[in-house]
Amino acid sequence: MIPIVSKLPQVGTTIFTVMSALANELGAVNLSQGFPDYETSPELIELVNQAMKNGYNQYAPMAGVMSLREEISKKTEKLYGAYYNPDTEITITAGGTQAIYTAITTVIHPNDEVIIFEPAFDCYAPAIKIAGGIVKSLELEPPDYKINWEMVKRLINNRTRMIILNSPHNPTATILQQQDIEELSAIVKNQDILILSDEVYEHLVYDGQSHLSMARYPELRQRSFIVASFGKPFHATGWKVGYCMAPAHLMNEFRKVHQFLVFCVNAPMQVGIAEYLKNEQTYLGLKSFFQQKRDYFRDALKNSRFELLPCSGSYFQSVRYGRISDEKDAELAIRLTKEIGVASIPVSAFYNMGTDHHVLRFCFAKRQETLDKAVDRLIKV
């Protein structure tokens, strides 16, 4: 065997793949990996079919199909009052993860420091490390997982290049509040710090609250790569279509990397999604669709011994299980999959050091029957 030096020696297979595989193997209800188990809209499928039949089967433009970039620009302006030029400031990516990897690769040089908040979605730290960057993580704690901005200030020095934000947050289901925006703005003002804002759950915000996109604030917008996805809102995680928005000088560099990573994203999906986006109900209706699922799942679990943590956004519900067990979250997640047939994600997997607050994450983007089955089993634990 020819020896190689691993760039990610500590990394194994992602927890999403591990838990989904275990759930499939055991026939458990899979509330682990975040994806819907109901069908994508037939209308959207028809639009993609039409695009294939109309001959959109060759390479898309490197930056993405123009009609899709135009629809994204219109949507962003309508929702957040910010204009992004479809020609120079929006690029279609193969899902949110590729956009995140590309943005990090584009701007992070060896020894640049990047601040992340843990629990953090699992692709941030590896992408930083592959670029030679240094991960500076700030651990957040249940039940509120609030960012302590004083602590953030202390992490900043002249090597700090980027802060990665994620709102609505996976896995904790928190959302940034106005106060966070003010603190963040004050911290980055007059500093050469970029922001990578993972907003893939932008439309999934509950209880009449608003999504505070970085696009809304000129001070933040001018330094931000905003990442979003169509997999989550349009129940099509398997299509792997997302996008990134950034000011032209950042996007210009982003595209230099993007073109050699994937060159372009599948064409017919982009054409179909562009048509579908023309009807704003396709995304505005998501709040009530998912809030109903969230409310149902939370109400049902009130009769269980799990302690529900707040859920303001995303399609995840986290719970503490101190009243049930003191075993490690990863052990409990596996045991519940085996013994009661419900798979979840142990939240320690989102901490670099494996910090275990005894919290499990459930995905409620599931059919009513699936949620019923899961709840029936969970309330017996």
Which residue ranges make up the site for ligand GLN (CB under 6 A)? 14, 16, 33-34, 170
State in angstroms the smallest separation of the CB of 95 from ligand GLN.
9
- How far is residue 365 from each of residues 199, 306, 371, measured CA to CA in Å? 17, 19, 9
State in angstroms the smallest separation of the CB of 34 from ligand GLN.
3
Q: Are 32 and 329 in contact (CB under 8 A)?
A: no
In degrees and rounded to multiples of 5, residue 320 shows phi and psi of: -95, 150
Cα(272)–Cα(279) distance, integer angstroms: 12
For ligand GLN, the closer CB: 65 or 205 = 205
Q: What is the largest CA-CA distance in the chain?
A: 58
For ligand GLN, the closer CB: 262 or 379 = 262
Q: 173 — alpha (psi -120 to 50), left (phi > 0) or beta? A: left
Cα(300)–Cα(296) distance, integer angstroms: 6
For ligand GLN, the closer CB: 206 or 364 = 364
State in angstroms the smallest separation of the CB of 203 from ligand GLN.
15
DSSP 264: S
For ligand GLN, the closer CB: 34 or 86 = 34
For ligand GLN, the closer CB: 93 or 170 = 170
Cα(372)–Cα(377) distance, integer angstroms: 9
Residues linked to residue 360 through DSSP beta bridges, in sequence order: 319, 346
State in angstroms the smallest separation of the CB of 119 from ligand GLN.
11
State in angstroms the smallest separation of the CB of 226 from ligand GLN.
17
Residue nearest to ligand GLN (CB): 34
For ligand GLN, the closer CB: 33 or 167 = 33
> How deeply is 296 buried, as exposed, middle or buried, from its count of CB atoms within 10 A (0-12, 13-18, 19+)?
middle
State in angstroms the smallest separation of the CB of 332 from ligand GLN.
18
